[in-house]
Structure 1
Amino acid sequence: MLIHVNQLQPGDRIMTDVFNDFGVNIMSGGTPLVRADIELLMKHRINYVDILPRQMETDRPNSWKTAHVESHVLPTYMKTISSVKKIFDSIQNGEQLLTKDLDDFTKSMISSIQEERDAVSLLILLNTDEEYTYQHSVHVGMLAYFISKWLGYPEEEAQLIGRTGFLHDIGKSKVPAHILNKPAALTEEEFEEIKKHTNYGHDIIIQAQGPCVEAAVALQHHERIDGSGYPNGLTGEQIHPYAKIVAVADTYSAMISKRIYKQSKDLLCVLKELYQLSFKNLEPKVVHTFIEHMLPSFIGKVAVLNNDQQGEIVMINPNDLFRPLIKMKAKFVDLSEHKNLEIVRIMV
């Protein structure tokens, strides 16, 4: 029974020895897995393993993954949101951005997630009721870090790109609160004011650090490769590579986030929309790498359908990536063959 590591449960037994990319035997066949073993497989970037057939499938609403995130990641996540808010508040009060404060929470947050392989679970479990602007900044920093690693950037550079993600919206600290927190769609004039946050962010970071990649990303994360973005209508290679990564993380996070005037969209549905944007607005390599590494994390998750039925995602359909195979009790439903069915929510 070949399954993705994200589907493993404590008590599963692997059938054969597991070797990492360097040929080192990291686990022997027949080993009954405990939580630490599953984390070890993830750490060594093992994607699939063969396990002995399970005697009985059980519901896992409170899985070890949920407990792990809530006990190990959530406290750091909440502290990071608080740190981002303090930075916004200090700038609103006329103070300068303090690089040391930024370094501290960036390193702490990335350290708590750098061994995680299941970004989907993180996004579901770390979607709290905190204020959108601050939570969004943390999500974008996390996603920018993950995407950078998936693209092959070395650890130190990936952490720097994550840092640019945490800072990308710092310019919103200069946008009037009644516009930033408006409980309705923005007027054209209000949207023009919101757009200024890219210039504000660039200036804030320049004043604190001088010319740097963080300032470039703050300025360019809303530029689009077809020239349709702002503030300068840059195209293609004119846009900093880090800004292209943060643009994808920013777009995905914004689309899955629930705001006062806007309902959140399902994580899998948004991946499909992101895929469409890769043909015009967003850097294709970044989007496709993001999707390639996110999709396996949906395996093992519970999908709620628009007919109120739910089941476990057991396979990604290679011919229709965003309409997977769902196991519902004693039957399997291939969503690629049932176009009337849609996933409306994903649960851990």
Structure 2
Amino acid sequence: MRIHVTELKEGDTLSNDTFNSYGLHVLSKGTNLFAREISQLFQHQIDYVDIELKPEEPAVIRTLESGLSPKWLPTVEPIYQDAVNGCEQLFMEAFHKGTVDEADVVQTFQPLVENFKMERDVVSMLLLLNTKDDYTYQHSVQVGMLSYYLASWLNYSEEEAIKIGQAGFLHDIGNCQIQDGILNKPDKLSSDEFETVKHHTLLGHRIITDSIGEESLAAAVALDHHERIDGSGYPNGKSGSDIHPAAKIVAVADVYSAMISTRVYQDKRDLLFVLRELYRMSFTELDPETTHTFIRHMIPNFIGKQVELDSGKTGTIIMTNSTEFFRPLIRTEDGFIDMAVDRSLEILHVYL
């Protein structure tokens, strides 16, 4: 099967020898393609290669993978929705009883870990699953998933990453005791209303403490996830190392998920804009190492995505830059643009 190099997946196998435009042999038939080999293809400006199609992988399915209806969507969407519904039940339980059952948290969150942890395209996954309904619960599910990913990227063990993901899942549980009229207000909150919303960190800490114990990681995250490195956060104005490390992880996931949401009163922001905003915040409010790790792992998800440049040209991101996150290598109709070299151009929009 002949495909564009941007559609290659790690583990694909070449079915023919590959040569560059000068006739130089680059890779041999039978080569298994991983990051190093795929990078070689980009470096030699090879656009198309022939790969062996796996018996269980029809060509039509492979073609859909780079589009807006990836093959995994029908499988994972029910799992995602079950988690959203389960989150709503946890919030209702916390509202009526003032506690949550730790076993219910595990039962609701664990299927996400088991079914989503191998998904490479986190960007498309969250956007395709995101809807305007049930923002509070979807946000909690997304923050839990992102916190799990980010903890893994920061080299936490699998057990620790799951715990941090569960803490992210419960980070906003205190919102169950905030009036819906304030939480879902389409206009800017008044000063008094904002003070009420800020109280959800204390309410969440109390709910989790009464349910799991004061020393639990989830209780610390519920309390600290709105604290900021420069001391500008709430509820206690903590700064730097006084903030729980897991809360620094959840804070990044929380900000990212909120900014990509499709709430009725907020237009969905361009993904590259969101990551740029996180980068800006990493020098003031968010932990730099945590935020840069998140960006560094999210940026490769843009490979293969269409972009619009401020010059009016459109193209495809074919390689990202590990040091300059927002200046990738782009293929256009006229050739290639290395934005790390041509600094006169900016990306206006990424089409996902």
Change (3 A) 1:9 1:144: closer
Q: Distance in 1 between matches of 2:286 and 2:316?
A: 31
Question: What TM-score results when the alignment is normalised by the length of structure 2?
Answer: 0.81
Change (3 A) 1:157 1:15: farther
| Residue identity in the other structure for 2:286 | L
| Residue identity in the other structure for 2:8 | L
| Equivalent of residue 47 in structure 1, options 11, 23, 35 | 35
Shift of residue 210, structure 1, vs aligned partner: 1.4
Gaps of 5+ in 1: 17-27, 34-40
Question: Deviation per CA, 1:234-256, whole angstroms, max 9, x where unpaired?
Answer: 11111111001001111111112
Q: Between the two proteins, what is the percent identity of the paired residues?
A: 44
Give the CA RMSD over aligned residues.
Answer: 3.2
Gaps of 5+ in 2: 17-26, 51-58
Q: Name the counterpart of 2:330.
A: 326
Shift of residue 308, structure 1, vs aligned partner: 7.2
Moved over 6 A (4+): 3-6, 58-61
Q: Distance in 2 between matches of 1:130 and 1:159?
A: 26
Change (3 A) 1:157 1:319: closer
Shift of residue 167, structure 1, vs aligned partner: 0.4
Shift of residue 220, structure 1, vs aligned partner: 0.4
Shift of residue 77, structure 1, vs aligned partner: 0.7
DSSP-derived class of the 2:64 partner: coil
Q: Name the counterpart of 1:126.
A: 129
Contact map agreement 2:182 2:193 (CA 8 A) in 1: yes
DSSP-derived class of the 1:136 partner: helix
DSSP-derived class of the 2:185 partner: coil
Q: Name the counterpart of 2:318.
A: 314
| Residue identity in the other structure for 1:342 | I
Q: Name the counterpart of 1:63.
A: 65
The question of 1:161 aligning with 2:134 is answered: no
Q: Name the counterpart of 1:19.
A: none
The question of 1:136 aligning with 2:130 is answered: no
Q: Distance in 2 between matches of 1:61 and 1:195?
A: 46
Q: Distance in 1 between matches of 2:293 and 2:101?
A: 33
Contact map agreement 2:168 2:250 (CA 8 A) in 1: yes
The question of 1:189 aligning with 2:192 is answered: yes
Contact map agreement 1:144 1:249 (CA 8 A) in 2: yes
The question of 1:249 aligning with 2:253 is answered: yes
DSSP-derived class of the 1:311 partner: strand
Give the paired residue count.
Answer: 322
DSSP-derived class of the 1:67 partner: coil
Shift of residue 320, structure 1, vs aligned partner: 4.0
Contact map agreement 1:303 1:345 (CA 8 A) in 2: yes
The question of 1:346 aligning with 2:351 is answered: yes
Q: Distance in 1 between matches of 2:255 and 2:37?
A: 33
Q: Distance in 2 between matches of 1:110 and 1:7?
A: 25
Give the 5 Å matches for 1:1-348: 7-8=7-8, 13-14=13-14, 30-31=29-30, 47-50=35-38, 54=48, 62-63=64-65, 66-94=69-97, 96-211=99-214, 212-305=216-309, 310-317=314-321, 320-335=324-339, 337=342, 339=344, 341-347=346-352
Q: Distance in 1 between matches of 2:5 and 2:235?
A: 42
| Residue identity in the other structure for 1:62 | L
DSSP-derived class of the 1:327 partner: strand
Contact map agreement 1:267 1:346 (CA 8 A) in 2: no
Change (3 A) 1:313 1:198: same
| Residue identity in the other structure for 1:241 | P
Question: Deviation per CA, 1:87-111, whole angstroms, max 9, x where unpaired?
Answer: 1122233463122211101111111
Question: Deviation per CA, 1:75-129, whole angstroms, max 9, x where unpaired?
Answer: 2111101111111122233463122211101111111111223222222222223
Larger radius of gyration: 2
Question: What TM-score results when the alignment is normalised by the length of structure 1?
Answer: 0.82
| Residue identity in the other structure for 1:343 | L
Contact map agreement 1:201 1:218 (CA 8 A) in 2: yes
Change (3 A) 1:306 1:134: farther
